[in-house]
Amino acid sequence: MTEIDIIKPTIKNLEEVVAVENAAWPNIGDCMVADISKFALRLKLGLMWLLYCDGHPAGIISYQYPSFMDASAGEKILHEYKQREGFIPWKKLTQEYHLPQNWYEATHDGKIITEEKSTHNPHGDCVFLISVGVDASLKGKGLVNHLIAHTLQQAKASGKTIALGYGRLPQLHQSYQTATIQQAEAHLQQQKPGTDLPADFGARFHVVNGAKAISVIPHAMDDPESLDYGFLALYGLK
């Protein structure tokens, strides 16, 4: 039986965190790997969880309390989504709710806080999932689900009522060399046989934990597997 333990890491765990990050993206390249200084800051701010699998560091998740979003706006977006059939256009969301256009704007390129800018509000009432990664050799053990579920549980326990993230579509490249927004939307709507969950595992991680796939995001991040697409995953935590 697999033993899972999730801790709040400190700067003393930096070496373990970086090792997990490198092990999570062995075949994609440096574009998906955060550098050590970004992790050091997230650890100092207490904005990470570290998962051990059978006693070994195996997964990490980073988050922030976004300065660009509050729970009221998140609840309005969820309400609008429930009233519609299909996705909300990304342009509409960025214009009406001032959501950042892409992951880099949402996280200040992963830096979160510098002297010039901050995307983190320590007093915010919702949580933004920055990134999650698990050792690629341990795929199939449900470690991403453990990390997301734990982060959501802790956020709810601390009074947060909305969570969101700019998720990936890592299986999109298996169907297209390049894709239109309509093709990316159709891909996101495809379901795993015998379930009502997305076929793409990048979306399935979020939906199985309660997220709604609200909108497809073009040019979400430099992500060859996802053909640079992403999607808005939005959770109601009440």
pLDDT of residue 27: 62
What is the model's pLDDT at position 28? 57
Compute the CA torsion angle 113, 167, 63, 102 (nearest 10 deg).
10
User: What integer pLDDT is reported at residue 1 of this predicted model?
Assistant: 81
Token pair of 236 as six digits: 């109601």
Structure confidence at residue 26 (pLDDT): 64
pLDDT, mean of each 10-residue run, the chain (238 residues): 95 97 74 81 97 97 98 97 94 98 97 95 97 94 97 97 98 97 98 97 97 98 96 96
Sheet architecture: strand order including 126-134: 4-7, 48-53, 56-64, 126-134, 162-168, 230-236, 212-217
Q: Looking at residue 53, what is its pLDDT?
A: 97
pTM assigned to the model: 0.95
pLDDT in tens, 30-60: 555 678 999 999 999 999 999 999 999 999 9
Domains within the chain, CATH numbers bracketed: 4-236 (3.40.630.30)
